[in-house]
Homo-oligomer: A and B are copies of this chain.
Amino acid sequence: MVEITGTTRLYGILADPIHHVKTPQMLNAFMAQEGIDGVTVPMHVGADDLAALMAGLKHMKNLGGLIVTVPHKTAVLDLCDEVTDSARRIGAVNTIRRTADGRLIGEMLDGKGFVGGLIAGGIAPEGRSAYLAGAGGAANAIAFALAQAGVSRLTIANRTRAKAEDLADRLKDAFPGLQVDIGSPDPSGHDIVVNATSLGLRDGDPLPLDADRLAPEQIVAEIIMQPEQTALLKAAAARGCRVHFGKPMLACQRELMAAFLELSAPAGTAE
């Protein structure tokens, strides 16, 4: 890590609980490597105290920005001074830049990170059909990012159908030309199959979709990073599908965060 001095800019990650977050390690390694005079620290705050903390943090002149994670991604939307169109549509924010005049600008990079990871892995969503398991926070972000990336059609499958319908309605509002369907556990007939549920995090979780219906020409992608090999990816590989791990999303998201937070080294010091 770079030594922290009086000129160091501060970045925080807002979470509750917070002990498990890896963003400080990830961004501090990145800033050290790039010669950026900044430090990322955990900021543990409960849902009831989030608005008060953010109202205070706005006034810290050397605060460069905030990363936001569970359970605050939805609540911070209304606590920013401004949010990007995509964050507004998704209804969530995970990255906030503080401008020199103290304004907080929110953006949502979870879905963009996932799609960027796909593209980095050689899987361009443009023109392909996609099946999305889940309609929660991660699925929301990924659905909008897939739509933005130009999928030919998108099917959303969720155990609670009303949540899938709500997401589909919002997608159709934002992307009127896109075909959006409500799906079943059967993912067949789609080029790219994405698990955006938390099923697979824990040993013994049921599969998020009917893997017996997977066919070799399909690509199956995970958002779960740990374990790297989920039961779904194992089943997909066994059926001859190409698989895409959860991890590339993280590297891509780090790049997107650095760009949005305008992290850069003083002139002449960047590597």
Contacts and interface: CB of A to CB of B under 8 A. Distances in A.
Interface in A75-127: none
Interface stretch (A15-23, A151-159, A160-168, A241-249): A15-23
Given A52-B56, A55-B52, A62-B42, A3 B1 contact: yes
13 contacts: A1-B1, A3-B25, A4-B28, A5-B21, A6-B21, A6-B42, A7-B19, A42-B62, A43-B62, A49-B59, A52-B56, A52-B59, A55-B55
Given A19-B6, A52-B55, A56-B53, A61 B44 contact: yes
Top 5 A-B residue pairs of the complex, sorted by shortest distance between their CB atoms: A56-B56, A49-B59, A44-B61, A6-B21, A44-B62
Sort chain A's interface into a size bin.
35 or more
Contacts of A46: 59, 61
A6 B28 contact: no
B53 A25 contact: no
Nearest to A55: B56
Given A56-B57, A62-B18, A42 B1 contact: no
Given A43-B10, A61-B44, A24 B5 contact: yes
Nearest to A27: B4
Interface string A39-72: 1111111100110111111111110000000000
